[in-house]
Amino acid sequence: MNTCPALLMALAFACLALSQTQGYSASEDARIIAEYKREMELDHAKIARQLVHRANWAAVGSISTNKIVEDYPMVNIVSIDDSDANGNSTGKIRFLLTDLDFTGPDWEKNNKVTLMFTEEQTLNCKNHGKDPMEPTCARSMISGQVQRFDKSDRSYKPALDAYIKRHPSANNWIKAHNFYLCELIIRNIFVLDFYGGPHQVTASDYYAVQV
Amino acid sequence: MNTCPALLMALAFACLALSQTQGYSASEDARIIAEYKREMELDHAKIARQLVHRANWAAVGSISTNKIVEDYPMVNIVSIDDSDANGNSTGKIRFLLTDLDFTGPDWEKNNKVTLMFTEEQTLNCKNHGKDPMEPTCARSMISGQVQRFDKSDRSYKPALDAYIKRHPSANNWIKAHNFYLCELIIRNIFVLDFYGGPHQVTASDYYAVQV
């Protein structure tokens, strides 16, 4: 299914052939292979970061506590932002939740959520003639835990200010409906960006990317 | 939270006042109230139908069977279509799944899914200055069971033809990756289309709407 291991092996063999003619050591070969591998992984990490930064919202899955659909997976829309004070991407996915909506009570009971991002959120696939379910229409599923900000933490105000800059309506949400600021603690990232199945990206590779 | 019951009551009292002056019976009053109630419910049903028909895809939640995020809610993108042979809306949500993606193995283990649709899929909220998380940016969460089409059923070919008409890439999916056609058996519909919390819509009211 996955074409990347094959491609990686081809590149690795090419490196080995090159290193042998140049007299590189076995450890040097291993380093080159590791570098190639890392580069390929970082590409997927970069795609995840770009999807997150370009999106204004995520489709958020939670395990429902609503009596009507209890234990069903619920999917809600949550406005997100990963910007610093200057609007640059940090990768840190922040959002406002309230107990009055679906996601709020759900994560408090079972703190397992997945946020899905797709290139089609900006109509980029449609505008390039790609069906939204094609693997070439990039998507990322980021799973983890919701962490509520402590208002006394000094990172709280800058994070909220950056969020409100992108989502001015949030000014009203906070005033009227007890919304609270959260960040996703990332446990796993899947990226689909081409044929051959999903790639797994670690949180550290995701955060290390410069976007 | 919910403004509709208040509005409904006001309308109901207005009807009662009207009916008393015109000498309607108590059963007639009940009928008028029921009609108003039904009309209001059908509006939400209509919004759900419109969201489904305009969307090319849904954010599909399932309970994950993937070892890395087992029992997490998974959210995937699935191309959908509800058209008849002439492209008109039927409300029947059809989609192709494969065991090679996330959703396929998940529903086979635990057949509870939720499909989320939002007005922002067509950028209609952004283009009208509405934040995607505002309740006025309409969304619908439709929960139920996946039902795989029986290929020998005479509804199979027309449904597949209509799907492929909207998603021509599906021709390749079926050939190469064992995709199979499914329909959502609707158990519950939530619609958020204004301030005041979600509305529940029955499957029969949803299907009864003319779009």
* Same domain, yes or no: B107 and B184: yes
ipTM entry = 0.83
pLDDT given at position B28: 76
> Is A28 among the domain residues?
no
A68 and B188 within 8 Å at the Cβ level: the answer is yes
Q: What pLDDT is recorded for position B109? A: 98
Q: Are residues B14 and B59 in the same domain?
A: no
Return the residue of A nearest to B141 by Cα.
A75
- Please indicate, yes or no, whether residues B137 and B34 belong to a single structural domain of this protein: no
Q: B114–A56: do the CB atoms touch at under 8 Å?
A: no
pLDDT at A39: 58
Residues B40 and B135 placed together within one structural domain of the fold: no
**At a CB cut-off of 8 Å and minimum separation 6, what does A133 contact?**
B57, B77, B78, B79, B96, B167, B169, B173
Residue A101 maps to a domain? yes
**Is position A8 within any domain?**
no
* Stretch 65-84 of chain B: residues touching chain A, C-beta under 8 Å: 68-69, 71-79
A114 has a chain B CB within 8 A of its CB = yes
- For position A41, what pLDDT does the model report? 62
Can you give the pLDDT at residue B111?
Answer: 98
Statement: residue A78 has pLDDT above 90: yes
| Tokens read off for A137 | 């229409």
* Residue contact A143–B72, C-beta within 8 A: yes
The residue in chain A having the minimum alpha-carbon distance to the alpha carbon of residue B126 is A56
pLDDT at A22: 41
Give me chain A's average pLDDT, please.
Answer: 87
Residues B90 and B149 placed together within one structural domain of the fold? yes
State the pLDDT at residue A40: 63
Q: Which of A61-65, A185-189, B33-37, B77-81 has the lowest mean pLDDT?
A: B33-37
Q: How confident is the model at residue A10 (pLDDT cuts 50, 70, 90)?
A: very low
**Per-residue confidence band for A76, with pLDDT thresholds at 50, 70 and 90:** very high
Residue A156 within any structural domain of the chain: yes
Are B83 and B58 contained in the same domain? yes
Residue A162 CB contacts under 8 Å (≥ 6 apart), including other chains? A81, A83, A84, A85, A87, A94
| Token pair 């989609």 in the structure block, residue | B95
Higher-pLDDT residue of A26, A135? A135
Check residue B27 and give its pLDDT: 78
Environment class of residue B8 by beta-carbon count within 10 Å: exposed (0-12), middle (13-18) or buried (19+)?
middle
Report the gap between the CA of B116 and the closest CA in chain A (Å).
Answer: 6
Confidence of residue A69 (pLDDT cuts 50, 70, 90): very high
Q: Let me know whether B147 and B189 are in one domain.
A: yes
Same domain, B54 and B145: yes
Report the CATH number at residue A151. Answer: 2.30.110.10
pLDDT-above-70 percentage for chain A: 84
Q: Choose the closest CB to A68 out of B113, B126, B200.
A: B200
- Split into its structural domains, chain B has a count of 2
pLDDT higher than 90, residue A28: no
Q: Strands, DSSP E only, in A42-171? A: 57-63, 73-83, 89-97, 113-118, 139-148
Q: Are B181 and B158 in contact (CB under 8 A)?
A: no
Residues B105, B11: one domain?
Answer: no
Q: With a cut of 70, say whether residue A162 has pLDDT above it.
A: yes
CB pairs under 8 A between A and B: 150
Q: What are the mean pLDDT values of chain B's consecutive 10-residue runs (211 residues total)?
A: 40 36 63 68 88 97 98 98 95 97 97 98 97 96 98 95 97 90 98 92 96 88
Instruction: Record the tokens describing residue A183, joined without a space.
Output: 């960040």
In chain A, residues 136-155 whose CB comes closer than 8 Å to chain B: 137, 139, 141, 143
d(CA B151, CA B93): 17
Domain carrying residue B12: 4-45
Residues B106 and B204 grouped into a single domain? yes
| pLDDT of res. B40 | 62
Q: Domain check: are B165 and B112 in the same one?
A: yes
Q: What is the mean pLDDT of residues A166-180?
A: 93
Q: B36 and B119 share a domain?
A: no
